[in-house]
Amino acid sequence: MYIVQIASEYAGVAKVGGLADVVQGLSRELSIRGHHVEVILPKYDVMKSDRVWGLTKAYSDLWVPYHHFWVHCDVYFGHVDGVKCFFIEPHFFKNFFSRGLIYGHKDDPERFAFFSKAALEFMLKTNKHPDVIHVHDWQTGLVPLMLCETYRGFGMTHPRVCYTIHNIHHQGTTGEFVLRQIGLNPASYMTMERLLDPRYPNAVNIMKGGIVFSNFVTTVSPTYMNEIMWTGLGHNLQEVLQYYRGKCGGVLNGLDYAEWNPEVDRFIPHNYSPNSIDVKYKNKEALRNRFWLRQEYKPIIAVVSRLDHQKGVGLIRHALFYALANGCQFVLLGTSPDAGINQDFWNLKRQLNDNPDCHLELGFDEGLSHLIFAGSDMVLIPSAFEPCGLTQLIGLKYGTVPVVRRTGGLADTVFDANYADKPYYDRNGYVFNDLNSEGLESALRRAIGMWFHYPRHWRELMQNGMRQDHSWNYPAQDYVNIYEHIREK
């Protein structure tokens, strides 16, 4: 099958969050399976060009109609981990992608509406007629609309569109001028059935457009799809999703085992597997040495996370003191874009600076995160909501037992050691329901008790997780099934 991914992020080259990992992991797995995969991305000034093999200018005659201009773009081509990637570079006084940041500008909707238009224009000019175009999050939510309403008229009648929602919290709400800029008449689209935002009168909701105009809509876990459709987590798009439920489904993300595998991980001092689990404890020793923690018979509880309200910062703080009061060690690696939260954790760090059982590392450090997963006994994820979540999947692969709140992808991947309706060999962690300190303690207490008093059972729990397959193998097949389902026969 011929598949084109259009996205705003790609792991290794331009990454802000999990979206980048999904586009990269899925594209690579589909390529390995023999599908013809191409990825179209913006050419950011901050992208890591050294990760693109053979980056060259491939097309320099792309003129994109935009508002009352024609914007000249160059298109670069190169391989990332064997996958064909195109990077669009507009030459325009607004410098859409040369601003030192991927997101965070006031005109983000304009920037990505332009990118969506340019990607389609590039496909039209170069005669690309894939079976499926796969687009992601609000940034590329206007692609299905423009394909249906504009580009089908230019002969692009073959491609079908799959739209993936990675986080419904961000919907790309903007003004109708954005439609005018990409050549659409707002009067035709500013209706409740189409793009009108359910909350703000006269606002355009780009994600809604993605849902309405695509052939299939996915989220990054089945539980998250259920939550955004039927519980209060839909951020006002629940009724749209309910209306289109016949074309909606959840596909759990995979984890890139080329990056995350304790048997071959280049960031950790001692590699190990489910059959050599004792070697993991050498990494625990290394982690303690790195953080000046004392070497004592205690479990290490870890948090590796963005520090924001989605991730349950209040509960992370509570867990820290609960762990210390119950004979455990606690390590945290995290950053926060929120100044208040950042300050709070810096204060905590100063307060606990001399504690031999605790270390807070406030920053982003990929290599260190690998050592923490390899050297800790538990990873804590008390999220308020979690579309999929990667850290629990990493924890499972590294024999680091996840303690999580039952929401989104966490509910689909972590099964409680005591209460899950699963056979014992499938149980792999601890789960709590209520987003409060009692809920958190109910799971942590059981996990800590098991670690101290039933080491043999704990080991089984670790091995159960390590043996589960959360690679891209199954999710890629799920996407292929969806592509087959929607493609024009």
The residues that touch ligand ADP, with contacts defined as CB under 6 A, are: 17-18, 304-306, 333-335, 364-366, 369, 389-391
DSSP 3-state of 73: strand
> Residue 19 or 143: which CB sits closer to ligand ADP?
19
> Residue 141 or 389: which CB sits closer to ligand ADP?
389
Q: How far apart are CA 140 and CA 92, in angstroms?
A: 20
> Residue 113 or 301: which CB sits closer to ligand ADP?
301
Burial class for 64, CB neighbours closer than 10 Å (0-12, 13-18, 19+):
buried
**Longest Cα pair distance anywhere in the chain, in angstroms?**
72
Residue 186, strand partner residues: none
Q: How far is the CB of 381 from ligand ADP (least distance, A)?
A: 8
Per DSSP bridges, beta strands 69-80 and 83-91 are antiparallel
Q: How far is the CB of 54 from ligand ADP (least distance, A)?
A: 28
> Residue 204 or 228: which CB sits closer to ligand ADP?
228
**Residue matched to tokens 């389609």:** 120
Q: Indicate the residue type of 206.
A: I
- Check if the beta carbon of residue 329 is closer than 8 Å to that of residue 355: no
Neighbours of 268 (CB within 10 A): 23
Q: How far is the CB of 298 from ligand ADP (least distance, A)?
A: 23
> Could you tell me which residues come within 8 angstroms of residue 346 by beta carbon, excluding any fewer than 6 positions away?
362
Residue nearest to ligand ADP (CB): 18
Per DSSP bridges, beta strands 300-306 and 430-432 are unpaired
> Residue 174 or 219: which CB sits closer to ligand ADP?
219
Q: How far is the CB of 391 from ligand ADP (least distance, A)?
A: 5
- Check if the beta carbon of residue 443 is closer than 8 Å to that of residue 433: no
Q: How far apart are CA 419 and CA 433, in angstroms?
A: 12
Q: How far apart are CA 258 and CA 179, in angstroms?
A: 41
Q: How far is the CB of 306 from ligand ADP (least distance, A)?
A: 5
Q: How far apart are CA 394 and CA 162, in angstroms?
A: 27
> Residue 271 or 335: which CB sits closer to ligand ADP?
335
CA 93 to chain centre: 32
> Residue 283 or 391: which CB sits closer to ligand ADP?
391
- Check if the beta carbon of residue 113 is closer than 8 Å to that of residue 65: no
Q: How far is the CB of 333 from ligand ADP (least distance, A)?
A: 5
> Residue 177 or 364: which CB sits closer to ligand ADP?
364
Q: How far is the CB of 283 from ligand ADP (least distance, A)?
A: 16
Q: How far apart are CA 47 and CA 14, in angstroms?
A: 5
- Check if the beta carbon of residue 71 is closer than 8 Å to that of residue 92: yes
Report the helix count and the strand count for the chain, using DSSP H and E.
17, 17
Q: How far is the CB of 362 from ligand ADP (least distance, A)?
A: 8
Stated as kind and residue range, the H or E segment containing 294 is none
Q: How far is the CB of 19 from ligand ADP (least distance, A)?
A: 8
> Residue 160 or 370: which CB sits closer to ligand ADP?
370
> Residue 381 or 443: which CB sits closer to ligand ADP?
381
> Residue 144 or 334: which CB sits closer to ligand ADP?
334
Q: How far is the CB of 294 from ligand ADP (least distance, A)?
A: 24
Q: How far is the CB of 87 from ligand ADP (least distance, A)?
A: 23
- Check if the beta carbon of residue 371 is closer than 8 Å to that of residue 286: yes
Q: How far apart are CA 85 and CA 82, in angstroms?
A: 9
Q: How far apart are CA 313 and CA 93, in angstroms?
A: 41
